[in-house]
Chains A and B, each alone.
Chain A
C-alpha cells in the first residue's frame, strides 16, 4: 500500500488538532481506551463536548494550555492508503516544530478560521510550505458552522488566499470549506454546504497523485557507510551503503564518484534479501562498484553526464530556528546529505517579510522564525542540486557548534 505523509499548518486555534482528531475518529482509527481517556479528561476540564484535539495534544503542558507545542505524529489507514499525520503547532513561538513536521510531508493542510480569515501566521505557514516545497497544499476553511455555512465567507477567503498564493511557488492547491468540530467535509461530503461541489478532505487525500513528486531522473547516491565485513566468506567485500536520493541506479551503469571524479561502473546493487535490478528513492541499498577506488562516507555516486554542482559556495534560503540570531560572520556546523563540514555565513542578502513577501536588504540578522537568503562558504565542497529539483540533495541543516542545537534549515537555490 502506498504511504502519504501530510502535515497540518495554520494559526493558533484554527482547529488543526481538532481536525486530525475528527479524521481519526471518523475513520474509526481511535481505540476505545484512547477515546475513553480523552472523554474523561474533557469531562474533568468541563469541556462542553469531547475535545478531539486531546488525541494529539498529548503533553502535560499542551493540555494545561490548550495549545499544541510540538509535532504529534499519528497514523491511520483507509482501504486506499496509509497516512502518516504530523499535527503541528500554530503558535509562532513553535514555528520550528511546524517546519519539522512539514519538511517530509507530501501534502500540507493549511487551516483558516472562517470568522477570522487569513492571519499573519496563516500566511507564514503557507509561505513555509511553499518554501519547503510541500507538493500539495489544501486550504481548509474551517469553523464554517460558526458562519452559518455561508458560501460568501468561503469564497472571499478562498479568493484572498489564491491571490497570496499566486506570489508563491505552489504546485497544487485545493480549497475545502469544513467544520472540523462537526465533521462537515472531513470524511464525507457535508449536507450543510450543498453549494460546495468538491470532494471531502479524506477523499482528496486518498486520490492525490504523489508518485511524480520524487526525482527519478538525476542519479544521486550519497555514500552513507562503507561495509567491510573482514570475515571468512566476504574477505574482499566492499560495499557502499546509502539511501538513493535521486534517479534510478542499475548494475552496469557508468558512474563517477565525487569528489575524486574517478569513473567506475556499478557491479551490483545488494541487500540482505538478494541483489536488486534497480534502486530508486527512497530505497536503502548497498552499491558495489567494479573498481577498487577510495570512497568514504560523504562521497556521492552519480552519472558522468549528470552531476550535481560541486562547490564550497552555497546560496540558500534559510529558516532560522533559534533565539540567538544568525549574524553574518557566524560559523556553524553544516550537515548536507551524509556530509558534515563547517560553514561561514558570508552574507545575509535579504530578510523576507512573510506577510508582504517584501525583501529587506538592509537586515543585519535573522531572528527566531525569520527567513532570509544567505551566502555560505563551506570548508569542504558540497554536492548539491537546487532544492526545487531535489529535496534531499538541496537541503541542509546548520548546527551551533557550542550548544549543538539545530539552528537553521537551508534550501539551496
Chain B
C-alpha cells in the first residue's frame, strides 16, 4: 500500500465499508446468520466476513436455503468451502417445507421452487431464532433493491415495507428490533457486478466452475438457455442444443439461464462484464420476468 497519499482505491473502500457492517452486526446481534447460496455474491460475502474477524473464526453460521434444484458443482463448492473455513452450515430445505405441507409445489412444466424459498427462509429464521440475516443482494442488481437500506427491518411476518424504511444516516446503523422481528443486512449494497469480479480477481477467490466458459447441453426456452435435467424436463417439441456458456448468476436450475461466453478466466469475465449491455438478472433470471414489480413484490413478502 502506498502511504504518501492517504487515498483508498474503490475496492479497498468498498471492502472497508463491508467489514465495518459485519463487525457492527456481530457486536450488536445475538444470533446472526449469513445466507449462502454458493453464488459469487455470497462467496464474496463469506470472504469479507473472514477478513472482518481474522484471526478468529466467523462468529456465526451460514445458511443455505436449498430448493433441491442445485447445480452439482455449486453444492460441491459449498461443502468444500464451509469445511475449509470451519463454519457451521445450516440447510433450510424447500423439499422439507413441501413435505410438511408448509408450501405447495407448483405444477406444470414451468413450475419453479424459487417463490417457495421465502417460506422456507422465514421458517428457518424463526426456528433458529436468527435476529440478523446477511444477504448478498446488491443495489445495482434491480430497481427495488436499489431502494433498500443496508440494515433493512423486517416485521414479525418477515415483510419489508419499502414506503416506510428507517432513515439510515452516515454509518450509524439502527439494528434495534423486538422479539420475532429481524434485520436483513446487506454488506454488498454498494458493490456493482464489475466490482465483484474485479475483487474476485484481485483476491484470487475460487469459484464454482460453472461461472467459467464450458460446453453444456441446453434448451432454449422463453428467451433463456436452461439446463435440462431431472428437475427441468423437456417440453413437447423442444430440442436440446450444445453451446459454450457460463453462468452470470447462480440460483435454482429451473429459472437460472446460462449466457453464451468464451470467458474462461476472471480477467476475461471482467472484460466481458465491462462491455455487456444486459443486466445480470435481465440476462439470466426467469423469476424477474413475471411483472415489472416482481422483485419488489417478492421482497415485500420476505424474499432475499
The one of A73, A103, A228 in contact with B189, judged by C-beta atoms closer than 8 angstroms, is A73
A99 interface hit (Cβ, 8 Å): yes
Q: Which residues of A contact B54 (CB under 8 A)?
A: 227, 271-272, 286
B166 interface hit (Cβ, 8 Å): yes
Min CB gap A24→B, angstroms: 11
Cα-based distance from A59 to B144 in the complex (angstroms): 6
Cα-based distance from A74 to B147 in the complex (angstroms): 9
Return the CB mask of A265-297 against B: 1 if under 8 Å, else 0.
Answer: 000000111001110101110100000000001
Cα-based distance from A75 to B190 in the complex (angstroms): 8
Question: Are B52 and A284 in contact, with the CB atoms below 8 A?
Answer: yes
Q: A391 and B20 in contact (CB under 8 A), knowing A34-B279, A34-B282, A272-B51?
A: no
Q: Which residues of A contact B16 (CB under 8 A)?
A: 243, 282-284
The one of A37, A229, A277, A399 in contact with B176, judged by C-beta atoms closer than 8 angstroms, is A399
A329 interface hit (Cβ, 8 Å): no
Q: Which residues of A contact B296 (CB under 8 A)?
A: 58-60
Q: A241 and B282 in contact (CB under 8 A), knowing A73-B189, A399-B174?
A: no
- Contacts A59-B144, A243-B16, A395-B172 aside, 4 further interface pairs with beta carbons under 8 A come to A70-B165, A73-B147, A225-B26, A399-B176
Question: Are A224 and B24 in contact, with the CB atoms below 8 A?
Answer: yes
Question: Are A224 and B162 in contact, with the CB atoms below 8 A?
Answer: no
CB nearest to B149 among chain A residues = A100
22 sample A-B contacts, Cβ–Cβ < 8 Å, listed by A number: A31-B276, A58-B296, A70-B162, A75-B192, A100-B168, A104-B169, A104-B171, A211-B5, A225-B23, A227-B54, A241-B52, A241-B53, A243-B171, A272-B54, A273-B51, A278-B3, A282-B8, A392-B171, A399-B174, A404-B153, A404-B176, A406-B169
Question: Are A72 and B143 in contact, with the CB atoms below 8 A?
Answer: yes
Question: Are B27 and A224 in contact, with the CB atoms below 8 A?
Answer: yes
Q: Which residues of B contact A77 (CB under 8 A)?
A: 194
Residues of B contacting A: mostly: loop
Min CB gap A233→B, angstroms: 8
Question: Are A74 and B140 in contact, with the CB atoms below 8 A?
Answer: yes
B177 interface hit (Cβ, 8 Å): yes
B1 interface hit (Cβ, 8 Å): yes
Question: Are A397 and B169 in contact, with the CB atoms below 8 A?
Answer: yes
Cα-based distance from A234 to B32 in the complex (angstroms): 24
Cα-based distance from A73 to B192 in the complex (angstroms): 11
B237 interface hit (Cβ, 8 Å): no
Question: Are A58 and B144 in contact, with the CB atoms below 8 A?
Answer: yes
Cα-based distance from A242 to B7 in the complex (angstroms): 18
Question: Are A33 and B279 in contact, with the CB atoms below 8 A?
Answer: yes
Q: Which residues of A contact B169 (CB under 8 A)?
A: 99-100, 103-104, 395, 397, 406, 409
A41 interface hit (Cβ, 8 Å): yes
Q: Which residues of A contact B142 (CB under 8 A)?
A: 58
B170 interface hit (Cβ, 8 Å): yes
CB nearest to A59 among chain B residues = B162
Question: Are A73 and B174 in contact, with the CB atoms below 8 A?
Answer: no
Cα-based distance from A210 to B278 in the complex (angstroms): 32
Q: Which residues of B contact A75 (CB under 8 A)?
A: 139-140, 190, 192
A202 interface hit (Cβ, 8 Å): no
Cα-based distance from A224 to B176 in the complex (angstroms): 17
The one of A229, A248, A283 in contact with B8, judged by C-beta atoms closer than 8 angstroms, is A283
Which size bracket describes the interface of A in this complex?
Answer: 35 or more
Q: A391 and B163 in contact (CB under 8 A), knowing A3-B13, A231-B57, A284-B23?
A: no
Q: Which residues of B contact A72 (CB under 8 A)?
A: 143, 146-147
Cα-based distance from A351 to B97 in the complex (angstroms): 55
A366 interface hit (Cβ, 8 Å): no
Return the CB mask of B13-57 against A: 1 if under 8 Å, else 0.
Answer: 111110110011011000000000000000000000011111111
Q: Which residues of A contact B235 (CB under 8 A)?
A: none
Q: Which residues of A contact B24 (CB under 8 A)?
A: 224, 338
CB nearest to A55 among chain B residues = B143
- Which of A242, A336, A406 has the most CB atoms of chain B within a 10 A radius of its CB? A406
Cα-based distance from A72 to B177 in the complex (angstroms): 24
Q: Which residues of B contact A399 (CB under 8 A)?
A: 174, 176
Cα-based distance from A241 to B23 in the complex (angstroms): 8
The one of A32, A97, A271, A397 in contact with B172, judged by C-beta atoms closer than 8 angstroms, is A397
A82 interface hit (Cβ, 8 Å): yes
Question: Are B55 and A227 in contact, with the CB atoms below 8 A?
Answer: yes
Cα-based distance from A386 to B171 in the complex (angstroms): 17
Question: Are A406 and B167 in contact, with the CB atoms below 8 A?
Answer: yes
Q: Which residues of B contact A37 (CB under 8 A)?
A: 292
Cα-based distance from A313 to B3 in the complex (angstroms): 38
Cα-based distance from A273 to B1 in the complex (angstroms): 11
Cα-based distance from A130 to B296 in the complex (angstroms): 34
Question: Are A32 and B171 in contact, with the CB atoms below 8 A?
Answer: no
- Which of A1, A37, A69, A75 has the most CB atoms of chain B within a 10 A radius of its CB? A75
- Which of A55, A56, A73, A333 has the most CB atoms of chain B within a 10 A radius of its CB? A73
Q: Which residues of B contact A84 (CB under 8 A)?
A: 190
Question: Are A227 and B10 in contact, with the CB atoms below 8 A?
Answer: no
Cα-based distance from A344 to B19 in the complex (angstroms): 32
Q: A405 and B166 in contact (CB under 8 A), knowing A335-B172, A335-B174?
A: yes
Q: A73 and B139 in contact (CB under 8 A), knowing A60-B293, A321-B167?
A: yes
